[in-house]
Structure formats: C-alpha cells, structure tokens
C-alpha cells in the first residue's frame, strides 16, 4: 500500500488504503459473503478431491482479483467496486433463497416482468439482506480514502498484480486440468452462481442480443396454408388455447397427484397427456418456442424472432386469431395478430395492484364467442400459478388446501404451507379451464369447439433447495420441465372430424409428448393444410377415421 501523508482536518479520521489493497479486501468479502451457494456447490462437486477444491478456490480468487484490479484507477475504483458489491448482494439473495441461476434467460425474464410481478420478490428480508451485505459495505468503500501511486508506477504495479493473478489462475488450471475438466463436464452449472461475474456477464449478453433483436423482421411461414373443407354440420370450428403459467404436472390430480386438484376437469371428458415436457423453464423461452414451428432441440431465441409462428400460419389460412393476456405478454408471438393486455383494464371485479385473477379471461370469452363468424382460434394467457405470491392467484372460495402460505417470502412459511398455496392455484386453474369448456358447451348449437390446455413450464417448491423456475434446461429438475397438457373436443367435432377419442386417450397415456406437439396438433384440429404441417407431431393424426386428410396431403 502506498501511504501518503494524512491531510489535516476531516480527512484525518478517514483511513487511507491503497487501491489494490481495497480490491483485495473486496474480492475476499464478495467471495466469502455473497457466494455461499457457489462454494457449497463447488465443495459438493469436489468432495472426493479436497486438494483440487482448494486449488479451484485459489484460482477463482485470483481471477476475481485480476478483474477487480483491472478497474483500479482514480475516479473508477470506488464506483466499480460498489457496483460489484451491490450486484453480488442482490444476486446472492436469489441464489441462496431460491436456488436461482441468473443466466441470460433469467435476465430476459426479469426484463419483461411487470412491476407487480417484480414487487412480490421485494420483501423485508430481501431489503434487509441487501442493506447488510450490499449497502453497508458500499458505504465503507465510499468512506475510505484511496492512496493512488503516480500514474506510471500505478500502471506498472497494477499490471504486475494482474499478470501475477492470471499466472496463478493458469498454473492452477493446468495443474488440475483433468479434475476440473471432469467436474465441468459432469456439472456444467459449476460457475453459474459465481457472483458478481455471471449476473453481469448475463446482463451484458442480454443487452447485446436485445439490440440485435429490435431490427429483426420475421420471415413468412406457411403462406400456402388453407382450410381443408369445413365441418359436416356447417358450424364454425373454434379452438380455445389456454396457455397456462407455472403449473407443474406433479400437482395435477389428473396425472395421479394425491390431492384432488382437478375436480372439475375430471368431469369434463378431457384427454390428459401425463408425460409431457416443456420447451423451456421460463415463459420468455417456452411461449415463443411452443408456438414456433421448431422443436425444442431446434429452437433458439433468434430463430423464434426470425420466423413467423402458429398464429401467422392460421391467419394465412383465413382463420380469425385473437390473444387475451393476463400474464406478462406474448414475447412477440402476437406481433401480427389482435392482442389485448387485460391487467391495464384494472377491472375492480378481478384486478388489484396491477394484477388480475384469471377469471377476467373467462369473463371476456363470452363477448369473443358472440362475435365468432367463422373458423377461429383464441389464446388465453393465464397468470396461473406464478410465484412467489401463490396466495394472490386464487380467490377465497378456492382456498381449500390449508394452512396455506399467505406471504411473498417463503422464509415465513413451512414447506407444507407453500405446497398448499400452490395446490390452490392449480385448483383455480382447474376451474378456469373447465369454465372455458362450459362456455363452448353452451354454444354447441352454433359452434364446434375444442380446448387445448398446457402450461409453459413447471415450478420448484423447495425440492433440493430450489424454488420458482428458470433453471437452465440442461440441469433443470423435472418439476420445472414436466408440465400438464390436456385436450377437450365437443362431441359433434369429434364425430364430424372423425376423431377416435379412445385412441387419442390411449396414445396420451402410453406415449411421451412435449410442446413440440402444439404447433401441429392445433393445425390438425383446425384442418389446416400446409407444407409446414408434420402429422408425426400431431397428437390427433393417428386417431382419425378415416385417416387424417392433412397427412395424406403432406
């Protein structure tokens, strides 16, 4: 540390410290205080190799020190270190409390969250954590005086420190390369919770991609689409797609869950697909993916923006398409079709503090159905079971599983209370979807209706210390990727369309399905012929008697 004579006056009570020393102390603080989950994971992965773990810790510390020292310059050191500390403090809360990994997709989710949604995460415990681990250390950094060397000496000294740290990092990496490579391959999430490096890197990647996204124009898809005939009864064919939010299949009684969470749908003669996987673990990925022509393996965020989707293909076939949204948006899926965002209505019957109960969707269905004149598709995007404020997703009359967690902060509730609150949201979704089916039944004399329900992704409720969703797919637990999927067809549609519903039910029970099936199954339901239709991904194609005309045309 380069000490200078202390100036008289008020500065005399402020300790002076070298900039590199401050970087070292900040490195130690961030690694020890705001990386508990990271070190817990790393220790577990290296449990059989304690020497390699020690070397890993030294290498990580050296790399972080090199990064911080890079910003050791007059007028730069304090703002940058304070920024790093605050980011690490905020990120560590979500790492430690929810097991959340803040990658690029999680940043994307945060960027599109509504104020009400984000507000549920700002609890007293969160504020206290950020104050103690972020704000107070930042005030200490702001308070101390930094002694800087003359610029040339500083440049030489800082360069020597940075190169020394990088040398340590390289030596450690090469010395234990075999062990590190093996652990890295087995656990690709090894450094995903390293604060503040990964959150900042993810944010930068998201910002760069977002700038590119704004100039993308979706290329036409399925412009050859056309309807193959009409229903034999001459009624318009209407499919209502209910895009659920955060419902996990594990808690659906239709799939064998111990609690009766689907009492109404159990009476609706629906076909449930018990083995269905999602396209992603967050809405911002799953919604555009499942409406795209791409399978999960093929899909990328860029492809989703560059290519028109299911709603566009339906429009090309002269099907009327509309989207009613009670969640956080359509993520560009509705860029070319009519779209209504319902929370802005602030309807006092359903809405409070910027969010609405899903009953608002059912309320709007009547008016939409009254104006149907031809083949039509309506998408209802639920708020569903979005956490952590599960208790705000259902009205009092659906508070059947008690005691239920009545707080945003999971730390205030027992695991059983959290699960009860979540199960009440599933019970309410059961009611919403059943009510939509009833709306179509009430118009059976004038419409041939179908309902398709699926959730965009699942949810973790504390299994293995993980809560909420958004875990990278490659390491995501089944609770986040195993989702409910069901269909209901009006009797006249099943008859005139030649659907053998017993066959569909048997295939549903015996097979595995995914969001990949949505695009092609909806086209099949609406009898849309196009070159982009793939009958092998249509859950109905093999169960139509006579065989599906669309399959014969492809």
Residue 531 domain flag? no
In a domain, 85, yes or no: yes
Looking at residue 554, what is its pLDDT?
Answer: 57
Which of 212, 235, 259 terminates a domain? The answer is: 212
What pLDDT is stored for residue 6 in this prediction? 42
Same domain, 197 and 256: no
195 and 137 together in one domain: yes
- Asked whether residue 88 is domain-assigned, the answer is yes
pLDDT attached to residue 4: 44
Beta strands in 148-296 (DSSP E): 226-227, 237-244, 271-272, 276-277
Are 353 and 483 in a shared domain? yes
DSSP string, 291-337: TSSS-TTT--HHHHHHB--HHHHHHHTT-EEEEEESSS--TTTTTTS
C-alpha span between 325 and 330 (Å, rounded): 8
Contact criterion met (CB below 8 Å) for 534 and 294: no
- Residues 163, 233, single domain; the answer is no
Q: Is residue 254 within 8 Å of residue 270, measured between CB atoms?
A: yes
* Domain encompassing residue 126: 9-212
Question: Are 150 and 244 in the same domain?
Answer: no
Structural domain contains residue 67: yes
Q: How many CB atoms lie within 10 A of CB 379?
A: 25
Residue 528 within a domain: no
Q: Does residue 433 share a domain with residue 406?
A: yes
d(CA 67, CA 39): 19
**What domain count does the chain have?**
2
Looking at 212, 238, 268, the residue that finishes a domain is 212
Is 520 inside any structural domain?
Answer: no
- Choosing from 184, 212, 240, the residue where a domain stops is 212
Global confidence as pTM: 0.88
Same domain, 39 and 158: yes
Residues 164 and 235 in one domain: no
Find the CATH number of the domain harbouring 431: 3.40.720.10
Within this chain, do residues 323 and 462 fall inside the same structural domain, yes or no?
yes
User: Do both 103 and 201 map to the same domain?
Assistant: yes
pLDDT at 531: 97
Instruction: Indicate whether 159 and 120 sit together in one domain.
Output: yes
| Cα 114 to Cα 193: distance, rounded to the nearest angstrom | 25
pLDDT for 376: 97
In a domain, 218, yes or no: no
Same domain? 164 vs 256: no
pLDDT tens digits, the chain, 554 residues: what are they?
A: 444 444 444 555 788 999 999 999 999 999 999 999 999 999 999 998 999 999 999 999 999 999 999 999 989 999 999 999 999 999 999 999 888 888 888 888 787 777 787 788 889 999 999 999 999 999 999 999 998 889 899 999 999 999 999 999 999 999 999 999 888 888 888 888 899 999 999 999 888 888 888 789 999 999 999 998 665 667 999 999 999 999 999 999 999 999 999 999 999 999 999 999 999 999 999 999 999 999 999 999 999 999 999 999 999 999 999 999 999 999 999 999 999 999 999 999 999 999 999 999 999 999 999 999 999 999 999 999 999 999 999 999 999 999 999 998 898 999 999 999 999 999 999 999 999 999 999 999 999 999 999 999 999 999 989 999 999 999 999 999 999 999 999 999 999 999 999 999 999 999 999 999 999 999 999 999 999 999 999 999 999 987 666 655 55
Residue 529 lies in a domain: no
């Amino acid at each position: 540390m380069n000490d200078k004579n202390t100036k008289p006056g008020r500065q005399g009570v402020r300790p002076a410290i070298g900039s590199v020393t401050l970087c070292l102390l900040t490195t130690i603080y961030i690694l020890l205080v705001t990386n508990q989950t990271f070190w817990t994971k790393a220790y577990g992965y290296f449990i059989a190799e304690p020497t390699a773990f020690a070397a890993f810790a030294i290498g990580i510390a050296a790399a972080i020190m090199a990064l911080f020292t890079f910003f050791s310059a007059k007028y730069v050191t304090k703002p940058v270190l304070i920024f790093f500390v605050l980011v690490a403090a905020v990120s560590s809360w979500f790492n430690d409390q929810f097991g959340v990994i803040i990658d690029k997709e999680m940043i994307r989710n945060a960027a599109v969250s509504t104020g009400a949604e984000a507000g549920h995460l700002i609890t007293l415990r969160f504020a206290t954590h950020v104050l103690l681990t972020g704000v107070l250390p930042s005030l200490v950094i702001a308070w101390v005086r930094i002694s800087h060397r003359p610029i040339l000496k500083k440049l030489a000294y800082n360069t020597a420190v940075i190169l020394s740290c990088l040398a340590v990092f390289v030596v450690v990496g090469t010395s234990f390369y075999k062990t590190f490579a093996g652990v890295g391959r087995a656990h690709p999430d090894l450094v995903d919770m390293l604060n503040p490096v990964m959150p900042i890197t993810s944010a930068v990647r998201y910002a760069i991609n977002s700038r590119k996204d704004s100039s993308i124009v979706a290329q036409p898809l399925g412009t050859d689409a056309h309807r193959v005939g009409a229903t034999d009864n001459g009624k318009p064919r209407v499919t209502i797609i209910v895009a659920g939010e955060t419902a996990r299949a594990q808690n659906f009684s239709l799939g064998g869950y111990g609690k009766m969470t689907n009492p109404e749908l159990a009476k609706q003669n629906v076909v449930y697909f018990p083995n269905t996987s999602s396209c992603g673990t967050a809405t911002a990925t799953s919604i555009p993916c499942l409406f795209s022509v791409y399978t999960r393996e093929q899909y990328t965020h860029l492809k989703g923006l560059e290519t028109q989707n299911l709603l566009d293909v339906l429009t090309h076939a002269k099907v009327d398409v509309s989207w009613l949204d009670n969640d956080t948006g359509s993520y560009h899926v509705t860029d070319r079709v009519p779209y209504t965002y319902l929370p802005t209505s602030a309807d006092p019957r359903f809405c409070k503090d910027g969010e609405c109960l899903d009953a608002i969707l059912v309320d709007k269905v009547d008016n939409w159905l009254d104006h149907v004149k031809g083949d039509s598709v309506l998408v209802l995007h639920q708020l569903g079971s979005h956490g952590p404020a599960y208790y705000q997703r259902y009205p009092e009359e659906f508070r059947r599983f008690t005691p239920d967690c009545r707080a945003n902060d999971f730390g205030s509730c027992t695991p059983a209370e959290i699960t009860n609150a979540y199960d009440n949201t599933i019970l309410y979704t059961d009611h919403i979807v059943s009510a939509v089916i009833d709306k179509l039944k009430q118009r059976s004399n004038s419409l041939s209706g179908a309902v398709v329900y699926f959730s965009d992704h699942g949810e973790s409720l504390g299994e293995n210390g993980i809560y909420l969703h958004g875990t990278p797919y490659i390491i995501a637990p089944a609770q986040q990727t195993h989702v409910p999927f069901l269909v209901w067809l009006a009797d006249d549609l099943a008859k005139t369309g030649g659907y053998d519903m017993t066959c569909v039910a048997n295939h549903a029970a015996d097979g595995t399905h995914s969001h990949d099936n949505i695009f092609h199954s909806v086209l099949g339901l609406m009898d849309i012929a196009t070159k982009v239709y793939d009958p092998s991904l249509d859950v109905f194609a093999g169960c139509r008697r006579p065989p599906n005309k669309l399959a014969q045309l492809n």
